Each structure stands twice: as C-alpha cells, then as structure tokens.
A and B are shown apart, each in its own frame.
Chain A
Amino acid sequence: MRRRMMMTAVAAAGLLALTACAGGGDDGGSEGRGDITIWYSNNEAEIAWGKQMVEAWNAENPDEQIRAQEIPAGASSEEVIGAAITAGNAPCLVYNTSPAAVPQFQRQGGLVNLSEFDDGDGYITERTGDIADQYRSADGDFYQMPWKSNPVMIFYNKAMFAQAGLDAENPPLATYDEFLETARTLVESGAAPFAINPSPTSEFFQSWFDFYPLYAAHSGGTLLVEDGAATFDDANGTAVAEFWSTIYTEGLAGKEQYQGDAFADGVAAMSIVGPWAISVYGDDVDWGAVPVPTQDGIAADETFTFSDAKNVAMFTACDNQATAWDVLKFSTSEEQDGIWLDETGQMPLRQNLTETYPDYFAANPAYEQFGDQAARTVEVPNVPNSIEIWQTFRDGYSNSVIFGEEPVADFLTGAATEIDELAQG
C-alpha cells in the first residue's frame, strides 16, 4: 500500500513537472502571459526587421520574452506551418502566413480567433481600414492580422523599350491594345526574346501573378469568389483570359519555365512584381513601373491589383496568447510599421500609408506609387477549399489560355462550375 502511494506521488509530481514545462507561463490560453515563440520569413531584410523588433520588445518586457527563429525550411512555409499545427508545436505567431492557407489552418483548429480579444476587431480595422474586411473568415471574424502587401504592378525595362523605339518614360501599356502592340514591337524588334514571361507552371499560386491582377483591375476590385460563387465567368474574366491567350498564341510570352529571373536576366522586357523587387533589381536594371493594364485603360489612381499580402496569425498551440496579442500589436504599431517599410520596402497593410510616412516616400519616390497602389488591392478570397479552388482555376487556365487546348469560354464556365461547388465547403 505504501509502495503504491509512493508511486502515485511520484507520478503526480512528474505530471505536474511536465505540465509546468508545457505551460511556460502564468495561466495559459487566451489570458496566458509569459515567454512566446515567433517565426518570421528567412529573407535578409525581414530577418533584420524581426531581430530589431524582438530586441525592442525583450528590452521592455523581461518577464515576457520573445524567442524568434526563421520559418523552418520546407517545400513551402504553408506546408511547414500545417505540419506544425498537426504536431501541436506551432509557434505563437508566424509573420508570413499566406491568406490562401488561412481557411485550411482554421479548419485544422490551428488558429486563434483574434476577434475574441477585447480590442481585436477594433485594432485591426482601425489600422488597416476597409481593406481589412477581405481578411475576415466566413464567420465574420479575423483569424489573421492583415500585415503587409506587395501590390503587383508592371515593371518594364527602360533600355529594352528604348531599343525597340518605344517611349521608355511614358510607355503605351494602359489598355490591352496598347499593351499587345507594345509587346509585339518589343519581340519583333529583337529587343527582348519575350515581352513578358509570367511563370507558365501549374502551381496553384501562379495565377496570382498573371490572371488575377488584371482581373482585379478590369473588374474594379472583384475577388475570384464572392458570396460563395465564382465571379470570373463573365465579360471581365473573358476579356482578361482572352488578353493572356493572345499573349501566348503570338509567342509574346514563353510557355517554358525559365530557370532564374527572366526580367533581371533580360529574357523578358516586362514583369508583374511588387515593390520587393526594387531593392532586388537595384541598379542592375533601369526599370519603370506602371499599373497593370485594363481593356479600355483606367486611371492609375482607380486601378486595383493583387495584394500579394502576407499576414500574421496566432496559433492555438500558444500558451501565452495574451502576450502574443500584445506582441502582435507592438510589431504592427506605427513605429514598427515604419521600420518595416524602411527595412524591406514592402507596404504595411495600414490605411493612409503615404500620409502616415511622408518622409519615407519623399526620400524613396520609387516606392510612392506602390504605397498609393496598396490602398487598392484585392486579396485571395477567404473561403473553404481556397487552395483547391486556385489549383482548379490554374489547371483550366493552363489548358486553355497557355496551351490553347480548350476555348476560353469553356474554361471559364467549367472552372466556375467546379469552384462554385468547392466554395460551399
């Protein structure tokens, strides 16, 4: 009897010790405070920002320290995060959460509902403005903090345009007709092997950098799926798909995956990229940037585009969620957003961006149009089966638009029918 009692006591002590290890904080859960772990992206500029943010927080909060690391290597950060959710070892915060993966993470039970914090909804909508609504989940709540965007625009190589006899300062790229004519001139003159070269591969996300920005612009900011139904099987979708179909049919873009950066390597005279590219291309390419084209040409200050945003999500494996929420607000404060902008050139998802940081945009005029464009961005729809929806769209797009195996109208109708069903969950 005495031995059994002794064993029970030892087991209870062990269990308590384990529980304490796992908790690592005062209360645990949404009220928990204590040390937290965060992951951030692995590119140089974001690491520099992350390190200073962590140092600044840790200096002021000795009892609630941040342990930071780069997102572990994997085929994609979404797969790594998904695996971490399943294993129960996700960090408290991930500063690189793809909005397209949020519905899946939410379904897995891996995300904390940020709207349930007292000031959750208020903080997010006050910081980001109306654009924040695109990031609400189907239940109307936020499971991700809109963090930063890379609104994509058309980058063009001024030297190649000049070589083709085109006006490099005011290139005719506003309408589809102008764009196509310019593209033909670039290729026929021999200035560039391809006018533009979006990746023709089959990954689900590739349509974010060819069809979707132009669709957002042409439709005035319509998402691929709205109110549980596909939107693109209409005149807008047809115009955009026909435009790209012409590009491929006439050989103005390549159908083969290019190993490297076609724009930087001089293989293509144009590219669809966000402001991250400014520091990458640097002085290697004499570039200019214009909004993505529309059928009849829309004024730049009315043109929408794809956001290419990455957000911050809080994970249910986090024991000290109260601390994590405070860190989330600290890291997205006006001061930290300013440092972020300065370090990375990517746009914080903050309303009135150019007015908030006038000094930065005055000192970096190349970024100003991206700062302005950030106010008119379209996100991937926050709906069930988000990635499957994009893969369905991409498969049909490849078949019809890139490889010309199916009429555009059939592709749009077929993909819309499948996506309608997927969007219902």
Chain B
Amino acid sequence: MTTVSAPPSAAATGPDETPPSRRPRRWLGENPLGLLLSAPYLLFIGLVFAYPIVFSVWMSFQDYFFAAPGAEVDRPFVGFDNYIAVIQDPAVWRSFGNVGIFLLINVPLTVGLSLLLATALDKVVHARTFFRVSYYVPYVTASVAVVAVWLFLFSTGGLVNQILGPLAPEPSWLVNSALAMPTIALFVTWKGLGFYILLYLAALQNVGKELYEAASVDGAGAVRRFFTVTVPGVRPATVLVFLLATITGANLFTEPYLLTGGGGPNGASTSPVLLMYQRGIEQGNPDVASALGVILIIFVLIIAWLQYRFLGGRES
C-alpha cells in the first residue's frame, strides 16, 4: 500500500526550502492515488470529448473535408469564412428558431411535470415500484422503437386524430408547420420524464419531514406546502433539470430525423444538429458543420449560464 502522508518534519519546512520528498506531492496533490484512479476517466474525457472539440474548433477555421490517409489535399486557413457562411444561411436561422420553440415548450414542461409526478410518486404507498418503472420505461426504450408508436398515434389517420374527430388539425400534427415542433417537444418531454423524475425523487428524500410538519402546524395546505417547502427544498435538482433538459434539447437530432422525415415539413422541424449532420456528413462539408457546432455550443452555454444565474445555482 502506498503511503501518501508526509513526515512531520516536512510540515515545518518553508516554501523555499522544499525537501526533495515533498516535490512529488506538490505536483500530485495530497492524494496521488485518487489521481491515479481518476486518470482513466480523465483520459477518456480528453480523447472522446476535449480533443474532438478542440479539433472541431480548428476545423471550423479551415477549408476542411475528410480525406483518405495519405491523400494530397489542400485545406487552407479561411478565417471566419465558415462562420459567415453559417450566419448567412437562412436554414441555420430557421433551425435555431425551431429549437428555440422546442426549448420553450420542452424545458418548462419537463421541469413542471417531473417535479409534480415525483412529488406524487413520493407519496404513493402501493405499487410504488410499478409506477416508477412505468415512468422510466420510455426513457430506456430506444427512440427508434418509440417513434414508430408516435407515428401511428399522430399520423393523419392515427389514433389521436380519430379521437379528436372534427377537431383534428389539418394538415395533421407532423406535417403541420406550426405543430410539428411542438409535437416533437411533447414526445421528447414524455420520453425523458422518467430520468428527471428519478432526480427529483432523490432530491425529495433530502427535504426534512419536520419542515412539512411545521408548515402544517402553521396551517399550510397541500398546495402551500408544495410551493413553500417542496419547491425551495429541491431547488438544486431544479437547476440541474433545467440545465440537462436545455443541453439535451439543444442537441435534438433523432426525433426530427425519424418523426418528421428529416426535419419536415418543409424545414419546420430541422434542428441545428440535424443541419450539422446534413452539412457535415451527407454533403461533405465538416468545416461548415463545425462552425455551426461551435455557434451552437456558445448558444447553449449562454442559455445555461442565464439559467444558472437566475435560478440561483450558485446559492444551491
């Protein structure tokens, strides 16, 4: 077993007189074993996350395309040309507008519904496991499989329209420019709810029962207790849910790709990531796709910072 504690005499040594035995600790910290244990994950993050991001930023400033190893290709530095191309592309602006609509519907709905359902589930005594699993199943089911069910439900002759009868929208949900993105937002909310409910259920365990009792003694009803005890009590979880829902929502790809046949109708559900896929992979312009990706990262970071700032993440 490696000993990581320093000899007592070393503690009295001044900074300018660091003995050789303390030098490794200066670099490795108080717990070098911890560094060793976390190294594989740091390496993983570096290889599959940090390196691709740095490479992507570099790519966005080149006239870059994927080439065969050894192929003699010219990839000159082009400054902000790719960014200008992205900014001047109306499809990009539309995709950001689309994902904005998505986030406006999806994020509040996710936070509100998951908190309400988690609170309800926390109170359930009978069949608690059944309910928890029921909410979690859509989250763990592959989107491809679930999308088929939603296509069946929301197509022109689908179950939803049959129930609505004359109230069914025309054109139908997924081919209606105004309804395609809200329908996708509903789908994603429903599918991801199980995960966020679990987060809230964990947070609810940390809200002291005595707070509820004190509120009851003061005459607070169930609604009042929810807003004055539960909501503030799970605020750290709320900040987390807001951030996660925003980040995953901004990276929307699978649902418009599958539910609306590649961002239809007529581009009304195209997301920035779907556009990156089209530009970068299908059309062979990874440089433009990278520029779009960098802009998307900045966009998400700004929204996440605003949420963190105004929801009191620092206090949490």
* A-side interface mostly: loop
Residues of the A chain whose Cβ atoms lie less than 8 Å from the Cβ of B68 = 85-86, 88, 90, 108-110, 316-317
Q: Is B295 an interface residue (CB 8 A)?
A: no
Query: Are the C-beta atoms of B65 and A108 separated by less than 8 Å?
Result: yes
Query: Are the C-beta atoms of A391 and B267 separated by less than 8 Å?
Result: no
Cα(A257)–Cα(B266), bound, Å: 12
Residues of the A chain whose Cβ atoms lie less than 8 Å from the Cβ of B37 = none
0/1 string, A327-363, CB within 8 A of B gives 1: 0000000000000000000000000000000000000
Q: Name B151's contact: one of A79, A85, A107, A259 (CB within 8 Å).
A: A259
- Interface 9-residue window, one of A175-183, A195-203, A207-215: A195-203
Cα(A256)–Cα(B175), bound, Å: 6
Residues of the B chain whose Cβ atoms lie less than 8 Å from the Cβ of A79 = 281-282
Residues of the A chain whose Cβ atoms lie less than 8 Å from the Cβ of B285 = 388
Q: Name B284's contact: one of A88, A107, A200, A316 (CB within 8 Å).
A: A107
Query: Are the C-beta atoms of B262 and A256 separated by less than 8 Å?
Result: no
0/1 string, B243-261, CB within 8 A of A gives 1: 0000000000000000011
B148 and chain A: residue at smallest CB distance: A259
Q: Is B156 an interface residue (CB 8 A)?
A: yes
Residues of the A chain whose Cβ atoms lie less than 8 Å from the Cβ of B164 = none
Query: Are the C-beta atoms of A256 and B156 separated by less than 8 Å?
Result: yes
Query: Are the C-beta atoms of B69 and A88 separated by less than 8 Å?
Result: yes
Query: Are the C-beta atoms of B284 and A256 separated by less than 8 Å?
Result: no
Q: Is B118 an interface residue (CB 8 A)?
A: no
Cα(A200)–Cα(B177), bound, Å: 14
Cα(A391)–Cα(B263), bound, Å: 12
Query: Are the C-beta atoms of A108 and B262 separated by less than 8 Å?
Result: no
Q: Is A403 an interface residue (CB 8 A)?
A: yes
A391-B278 in contact given A108-B71, A259-B148 (Cβ < 8 Å) = yes
Cα(A104)–Cα(B67), bound, Å: 10
CB contacts under 8 Å to A, within B48-90, are 65-73
Residues of the A chain whose Cβ atoms lie less than 8 Å from the Cβ of B265 = 200, 255, 398, 403
Residues of the A chain whose Cβ atoms lie less than 8 Å from the Cβ of B91 = 395
Query: Are the C-beta atoms of A201 and B261 separated by less than 8 Å?
Result: yes
A403 and chain B: residue at smallest CB distance: B266
CB contacts under 8 Å to B, within A385-418, are 385, 387-388, 391, 395, 398-399, 402-403, 405
Query: Are the C-beta atoms of A82 and B156 separated by less than 8 Å?
Result: no
Query: Are the C-beta atoms of B172 and A391 separated by less than 8 Å?
Result: no
Most buried by A among B171, B177, B282: B282
Residues of the A chain whose Cβ atoms lie less than 8 Å from the Cβ of B119 = none
Q: Name A86's contact: one of B67, B151, B155, B283 (CB within 8 Å).
A: B67
Cα(A43)–Cα(B204), bound, Å: 53
A199-B261 in contact given A109-B68, A316-B71 (Cβ < 8 Å) = yes
A257-B69 in contact given A79-B282, A385-B283, A387-B282 (Cβ < 8 Å) = no
A388 and chain B: residue at smallest CB distance: B283
Query: Are the C-beta atoms of B66 and A82 separated by less than 8 Å?
Result: yes
B171 and chain A: residue at smallest CB distance: A255
**CB of A268, distance to nearest CB on chain B (Å):** 14
Q: Is A276 an interface residue (CB 8 A)?
A: no
Q: Name A82's contact: one of B69, B155, B267, B281 (CB within 8 Å).
A: B281
Query: Are the C-beta atoms of B71 and A257 separated by less than 8 Å?
Result: no
Cα(A82)–Cα(B144), bound, Å: 24
Most buried by A among B72, B263, B284: B284
Residues of the A chain whose Cβ atoms lie less than 8 Å from the Cβ of B278 = 204, 391
Query: Are the C-beta atoms of A402 and B266 separated by less than 8 Å?
Result: yes
Q: Is B103 an interface residue (CB 8 A)?
A: no
Cα(A94)–Cα(B6), bound, Å: 64
**CB of B216, distance to nearest CB on chain A (Å):** 53
Cα(A202)–Cα(B85), bound, Å: 21
Q: Is B276 an interface residue (CB 8 A)?
A: no
Residues of the B chain whose Cβ atoms lie less than 8 Å from the Cβ of A202 = 261-264, 266-267, 270
**CB of B156, distance to nearest CB on chain A (Å):** 6
A79 and chain B: residue at smallest CB distance: B281
Residues of the B chain whose Cβ atoms lie less than 8 Å from the Cβ of A78 = 282
Cα(A405)–Cα(B268), bound, Å: 12
A391-B264 in contact given A86-B67, A109-B73 (Cβ < 8 Å) = no
Instruction: Give 5 A-B contacts (CB < 8 Å), ordered by A residue.
Output: A82-B284, A85-B67, A108-B65, A202-B263, A256-B155
Residues of chain B having any CB pair with chain A under 8 Å: 65-73, 91, 148, 151-152, 155-156, 171-172, 174-175, 177, 260-267, 270, 278, 281-285
**Considering the complex of A and B, which 8 residue pairs feature the smallest CB-CB distances, nearest first?**
A109-B71, A201-B261, A88-B69, A86-B66, A257-B261, A388-B283, A109-B68, A202-B262
Taking A200-B261, A391-B278 as known contacts, 17 extra A-B pairs with beta carbons closer than 8 A to each other, sorted by chain A number, are: A82-B66, A82-B281, A86-B68, A107-B284, A108-B68, A110-B68, A110-B71, A201-B262, A256-B172, A257-B175, A257-B264, A259-B152, A385-B283, A388-B283, A388-B285, A391-B283, A398-B266
